[in-house]
Amino acid sequence: MPTNRAHGCGPGHVSGTEAPPLLRTDVPPFDRTSGPKLYAHTIDEFSTWAARVPRAEVDVIRQRIAEARNNTRLLEALDRELWAFPVRDVARHRSILSVIGELKMPSAVPMLIKFVWHDGEITRRGERGGHLRPCSFEADGEEMLRARAAEMLSYIGSPEATEATLDIAARHSMPFVRAAAIDSHMYNAGDTSEAADQLRACVAPDDHFRIGLPRLTRDMDPAEFERAVVAFYQRHPEERPRQPSQSKPPGPSRRSWQPEREE
């Protein structure tokens, strides 16, 4: 863990330790041949490697998954991992769902549909699962995983998968999951007006505002995205995330030997 700087120390000095090393400038480029191939017995090893791949090199992950396409033993192994409940590692489960989607195998569609509509808890939600959210764009692990499955359905893009995505957008009980289905259908259809009309015809009127929500892409000016977000919250202030309380925690109790302070 990093050590806190001590008050009064000179520049570059850390309390009780030597100065932290300078950032390296001689880091070798990412080795695109690193990491395992994707098989049924390398799922965890592959997921660990993929999590360390630089964002600029994510195409190598897709290529590695594409090489495993039509591997039925791999999909069966992913299916077993998917239904290992309760989920304790949400990030790992998101990775499993991502691999299933990237495989683009038609036989994965029923698996993802079943996961999204699973009647029961996927994660151990406890008290956190029942908390009141400040807006419908925040989610716990339970909703994140169902939403990711909806996104992967849309990504597969077969007629069955598209129909299932629209059904989720129209009927799912979790707002976060509906929002994910709506946005992914728009994205994978190229944000066309036809896709928007298709969604307006099937989703509830209260969800029409979710169609065409601001989305930050790699080629988008961040300032443009920020303006779009501000404009959205001006139109829908009820969706604005609630700011954390600014109230200070109570101070220590007065001891019997301490004099009372005058207010």
What integer pLDDT is reported at residue 234 of this predicted model? 78
What integer pLDDT is reported at residue 115 of this predicted model? 98
Q: With respect to residue 11, please indicate whether it lies within any of the assigned structural domains.
A: no
Q: Are 150 and 116 in contact (CB under 8 A)?
A: yes
Phi–psi pair at 17, nearest 5 degrees = -140, 175
Q: With respect to residue 19, please indicate whether it lies within any of the assigned structural domains.
A: no
CA-to-CA distance for 140 and 86, rounded, in angstroms? 14
CA-to-CA distance for 236 and 208, rounded, in angstroms? 12
Q: Which domain holds residue 115?
A: 40-125+134-236
Q: With respect to residue 66, please indicate whether it lies within any of the assigned structural domains.
A: yes
What integer pLDDT is reported at residue 221 of this predicted model? 76
What integer pLDDT is reported at residue 257 of this predicted model? 39
Q: Are 116 and 168 in contact (CB under 8 A)?
A: yes
State the total domains in the chain: 1
Q: With respect to residue 263, please indicate whether it lies within any of the assigned structural domains.
A: no
Low-confidence ranges of the chain (pLDDT < 70): 1-25, 125-138, 218, 225, 228-229, 232-233, 236, 239-263
Query: What token pair was written down for 174?
Result: 């979790």
Q: With respect to residue 257, please indicate whether it lies within any of the assigned structural domains.
A: no
Q: With respect to residue 172, please indicate whether it lies within any of the assigned structural domains.
A: yes
β-pair partners for 87: 123
Q: What is the CATH number of the domain that holds 52?
A: 1.25.10
Render the burial of 6-28: b for 16+ CB within 10 Å, e for the rest: eeeeeeeeeeeeeeeeeeeeeee
What integer pLDDT is reported at residue 208 of this predicted model? 95
CA-to-CA distance for 112 and 123, rounded, in angstroms? 16
What integer pLDDT is reported at residue 16 of this predicted model? 46
Q: Are 168 and 112 in contact (CB under 8 A)?
A: no
Q: Which of 65, 75, 70, 73 is nearest to 36 (CA)?
A: 65
What integer pLDDT is reported at residue 227 of this predicted model? 81
